[in-house]
Amino acid sequence: MNFGEMQSGVRTRLDESTAVFWSDQDIKDALNEGLFELSDATEWYERMATIPLWSTRSYLDLRCILPDTFLGPKRMINNQTGKWLVPSSVKTQDHRAAQWEKTSAEPEEFFTRGLWWMGFYPKPPNDLGSARMYFSALPPLMDDDTDEPELPEEYHMGIICYAVYDLLAQDAETEKALMWWAEYVQYETKLRDYVETRITRDKVGRLG
């Protein structure tokens, strides 16, 4: 389902065939808000990027390095050693030694600090290395009517449900809005279950 079809779907459910009460931009904004809400809740949108390992920096600001809006790290491999880095935490490092940030060698662990900062242990020995990181992110905004979310089409209706909920809530139609919110939550739950199990089993289609 593309962006244009989603807009028509929202107007149908609002029983408004033309822009009488809600403008086209209102509906577009609500749909993109729904896409972001669904993506943030389920982390279905996964990307890969090569990030530098610099000996002169204890932490990297991922906002300056990654091409997408970062949500959370998934997996990371040290390109020099070919080994997967172990997820860790600042608390784990603090229990290791008082001056752990000065230990220099090929990184074996990675951790985040705050929302955007990523660190490594040990600290990279030089500025020549890199790591391949897989991470969840927010997808790009839908803009053109032909734009289509990359998630499986059976979950597109969840974005429409959220948009209808959002617009009705803005209009103080609380009871109607909550009905559509409940519909949206069902899609969110199903998509989260799909994301959590898609690595362990193939998607199997069936007739009927």
CA–CA separation, 5 and 149 (whole Å): 12
Q: Where are the alpha helices (DSSP H) in the chain?
A: 3-13, 24-42, 90-96, 156-170, 174-197
| Contact status, residue 139 vs residue 35, Cβ threshold 8 Å | yes
Q: Residues 6 or more apart from 94 whose CB is under 8 A from it? A: 100
Cis preceding linkage at 140, omega within 30: no
CA–CA separation, 207 and 169 (whole Å): 38
Q: How far is CA 9 from the centre of its chain?
A: 24
Q: Residues 6 or more apart from 91 whose CB is under 8 A from it? A: none
The DSSP code for 104 is B
Angle of CA points 39, 29, 21, to nearest 5°: 140
Hey, what are 118's tokens?
Answer: 């990523």
Q: What is the pLDDT along the chain (208 residues), one digit of tens a residue?
A: 999 999 999 999 998 766 678 899 999 999 999 999 999 999 999 999 999 999 888 889 988 888 888 888 999 999 999 999 999 888 888 887 777 888 889 999 999 988 889 999 998 999 999 999 999 999 999 999 999 999 999 999 999 999 999 999 999 999 999 999 999 999 999 999 999 887 555 454 444 4
pTM of the predicted structure, to 2 decimals: 0.80
